[in-house]
Amino acid sequence: MRRTDRLFDMIQILRDGRLHKASEIAGALAVSTRTVWRDMGTLMASGLPVEGERGVGYILRAPITLPPMVLTSAELEAFRLGIRLVADGADAGLARAARSLANKIGSVTPAPPEPDDDGLFAFAGRESTRAAPHMPMLRAAIRAQERLTITYVNADGLDSHRDIRPLHLEFAGRVWTLAAWCEARADFRSFRVDRILAITPTGETFPDEPGHDLAAYKDRIKAEDAP
């Protein structure tokens, strides 16, 4: 039995709200008591309302609001791919959140065919590594609608300073890009985050100005993609 399947079965045992001894759970799942102790520790660390200790037993103190899920193999693969993208390309905070989410979802749904949990987060490209330090500040600036000054190096290796209105972060392949309104060019620009050398907050906010906002940027992209 895969470990995630076993965690799923343990939750089902605890759903009745009664106190269950580790030996009882071990017998029902045909595993060792030590395995139950370890898996219960995993469930507790994932944030589920499981309480208990060795020699006493385990109980689910509150109902789990997320019900057991029956997902297709394609849906599971889509979930794993999404988690991989976040863990690979985002900042450390989002990577931790991705791992936590994977643990929580994995606790209430059977695992996908491949069992290598560590492999889920194993790859990280150089582009994502270089982009990661900038992600928290960019996300915060987008939420706050704060103007930024960035030092950016283009594909030819030439650097420049840009005053921008950050609008949206996108991930394609292994590269994060920042959609922004460039004040100097008076037009939209897409910047590769891994090519940003420095970011300076200005403390100045920008308004939702028609023609300069995210909606206008998306309209521009649609128009350019149209046949």
Structure confidence by residue, pLDDT tens digits, 84-135: 667 665 567 777 777 777 776 766 655 444 443 433 443 445 666 788 788 8
Q: Are 59 and 14 in contact (CB under 8 A)?
A: yes
Q: What are the tens digits of pLDDT across the range 134-159? A: 888 998 999 999 999 999 998 889 99
pLDDT value for 119: 39
Range(s) for CATH 1.10.10.10 in the chain? 3-60
Q: What would the two tokens of residue 198 be?
A: 């420095």
CA distances from 6 to 2, 14, 56, 58 (A): 6, 13, 21, 15
pLDDT tens-digit profile of 42-77?
Answer: 888 877 888 998 889 999 887 665 555 566 666 766
Q: Given this model, what pLDDT does residue 112 score?
A: 45
Q: How far is CA 104 from the centre of its chain?
A: 13
129-225 CATH, one of 1.10.10.10, 3.30.460.10, 3.80.30.20, 2.30.30.100: 2.30.30.100
Q: What phi and psi, each to the nearest 5 degrees, are found at residue 151?
A: -105, 120
Question: Which tens digits make up the pLDDT trace of 5-40?
Answer: 788 888 888 888 889 999 999 999 999 999 999 999
Helix (H) or strand (E) holding 219: helix 214-225
Other C-beta atoms within 10 Å of 86: how many? 19
Distance CA 180, CA 160 (A): 15
> pTM score, two decimals?
0.51
Which residues make up the CATH 2.30.30.100 domain(s) of the chain? 129-225
Amino acid at 189: R
**CATH classification code of 3-60:** 1.10.10.10
